[in-house]
C-alpha cells in the first residue's frame, strides 16, 4: 500500500524495506554515471591505438608503440648534428669570404684595359708563348704596385682604393685563374712539339717501306706528301689495300672516264694504321684513297708541318702522314 510522506513499503509489512524516492533516484543516477565513466575510459584507451591514414585504419599495440618511440629516439640520437653544424658554418664562412673578395666592376674593367694596352705593344703575329710572357710580366708589375699601395708607398698615383687593394693582391697572387675567367681573358694552351732524334751521328735514316705491293714508277709516289685538288672519288668511302692499289684506281678511273668527265691525275693515300691528320672536320682512317684532279697539281704539305701550323693545329703531328702521286692519264 502507499503511505503518505512519499514512502514505499515492500513485502506487505509496514515499516520494513522502506525506500524513499530520493534514494532510488540517487542510486539510478550513480549507476548511469559509472556506466558513462567506463565508456569514456574505454574510448580514451582505444584512441591511443588507432592510426588513421585516409580510408585505412591500422591498430597498434602498446608494445609496438613503445618500439616505434624507441626507434625514433635512437634515430635522432644518431644524427650527425656536429657535422651538420660544421657544414653550415663552413657555408657561411665561404659565402662571407666570397662577398669580401669580390672585386668591383670598375676594377675589373681597368684590369682588362691595362692587359689590352700591354698586348697592343706586341706584333700581330706574336706566338702564344710571347703573349703569356707579356701578361705574366704585367701581372707581376701590378702585384708589386698593389702591395706598395697597401704599405702606403704608392697611394698617390694608384687608382685603387685601399679596401680593394687587399682583394686584388689575393686575386693576382692566389686566384689568377679565377680572375682571368671573370674578366674574360683567355689564351690558347701552349703546345710544345718535341722531336726526339736517337739516330747515331752520321747514320742515314732507313728508307721507308710502304705496306703492300711495290708502287709502280708511273705512280710517282711521294712519301709524306699531301696534294690538293678537286675530289674525283671521295676517300672517306673509298679504301684500298695499298698505295699501289690506290694509284691503280686513279689510272683506271682516268682511262674509263667518258668524254667531258673529270679524270683523276692525283692520288692521295693514308698508309698509317693510326689514321692520317687533316685540318678538316673528318676523321681520316687507314687505307683511305682519295682520287683528285687539278690542272696544275700543287702540294698542300710536304715532309713536315711547320711550327706555326702546329701551334694553330695542336693535333697535327710533326711529319705529314700521307703519301701521294701525280700521274699522267694514258
- Mean pLDDT by runs of 10 across the 330 residues of the chain is 43 48 79 80 59 54 82 76 75 54 73 81 70 83 82 55 71 76 62 52 56 88 91 90 93 90 93 88 90 91 87 86 86
Pick the closest to residue 78 from 70, 89, 67 (CA basis).
70
pLDDT at residue number 89: 75
Cell numbers placing 168:
686584388
Per-residue pLDDT at 105:
76
pLDDT at 6: 44
Residue among 246, 247, 229 nearest 299 (CA)? 229
> Facing residues of 319 across strands?
304
Q: What is the pLDDT of residue 69?
A: 83
Q: Is 225 helix (H, G, I), strand (E, B) or coil?
A: strand
Read off the C-alpha cell for 14: 509496514
Q: Which three cell numbers stand for residue 177?
A: 685563374
Cell 710517282 sits on residue: 220
> Helices 128-150 and 162-173 sit at what angle, rounded to 10 degrees?
140
Q: How many residues are present in the chain?
A: 330
pLDDT score, position 76: 74
Please tell me the distance from the alpha carbon of residue 120 to that of residue 112, in angstroms, as a whole number. 12
Q: What's the half-sphere exposure (Cβ side, CA atoms, 13 Å) at 140? A: 6
Q: Which domains does the chain have, with CATH numbers?
A: 99-183 (no CATH), 217-326 (3.50.4.10)
Per-residue confidence (pLDDT) for residue 4, from 0 to 100? 43
pLDDT in the model for residue 153? 54
Amino acid at each position: 500500500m502507499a503511505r503518505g510522506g512519499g514512502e514505499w513499503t515492500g513485502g506487505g509489512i509496514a515499516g520494513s524495506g522502506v525506500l524513499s524516492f530520493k534514494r532510488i533516484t540517487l542510486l539510478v543516477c550513480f549507476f548511469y554515471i559509472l556506466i558513462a565513466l567506463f565508456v569514456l575510459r574505454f574510448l580514451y584507451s582505444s584512441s591511443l591505438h588507432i592510426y588513421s591514414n585516409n580510408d585505412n585504419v591500422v591498430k597498434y599495440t602498446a608494445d609496438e608503440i613503445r618500439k616505434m618511440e624507441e626507434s625514433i629516439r635512437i634515430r635522432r640520437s644518431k644524427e650527425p648534428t656536429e657535422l651538420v653544424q660544421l657544414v653550415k658554418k663552413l657555408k657561411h664562412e665561404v659565402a662571407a669570404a666570397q662577398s669580401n673578395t669580390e672585386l668591383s666592376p670598375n676594377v675589373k674593367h681597368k684590369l682588362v684595359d691595362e692587359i689590352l694596352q700591354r698586348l697592343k705593344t706586341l706584333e700581330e703575329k706574336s706566338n702564344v708563348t710571347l703573349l703569356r710572357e707579356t701578361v705574366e710580366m704585367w701581372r707581376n708589375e701590378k702585384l708589386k704596385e698593389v702591395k706598395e699601395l697597401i704599405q702606403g708607398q704608392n697611394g698617390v698615383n694608384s687608382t685603387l682604393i685601399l679596401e680593394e687593394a687587399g682583394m686584388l693582391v689575393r686575386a693576382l697572387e692566389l686566384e689568377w685563374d679565377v680572375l682571368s675567367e671573370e674578366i674574360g681573358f683567355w689564351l690558347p694552351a701552349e703546345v710544345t712539339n718535341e722531336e726526339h732524334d736517337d739516330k747515331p751521328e752520321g747514320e742515314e735514316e732507313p728508307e721507308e717501306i710502304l705496306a703492300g705491293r711495290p708502287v709502280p714508277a708511273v705512280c710517282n709516289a711521294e712519301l709524306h706528301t699531301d696534294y690538293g685538288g678537286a675530289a674525283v672519288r671521295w676517300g672517306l668511302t673509298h679504301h684500298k689495300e695499298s698505295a699501289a692499289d690506290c694509284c691503280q684506281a686513279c689510272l683506271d678511273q682516268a682511262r674509263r672516264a667518258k668524254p667531258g668527265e673529270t679524270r683523276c691525275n692525283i692520288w692521295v693515300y693514308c698508309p698509317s694504321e693510326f689514321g692520317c691528320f687533316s685540318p678538316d672536320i673528318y676523321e681520316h682512317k687507314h687505307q683511305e684513297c682519295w682520287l683528285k684532279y687539278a690542272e696544275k697539281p700543287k702540294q698542300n704539305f710536304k715532309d713536315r708541318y711547320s711550327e706555326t701550323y702546329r701551334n694553330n693545329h695542336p693535333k697535327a703531328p710533326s711529319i705529314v702522314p700521307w703519301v701521294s702521286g701525280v700521274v699522267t692519264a694514258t
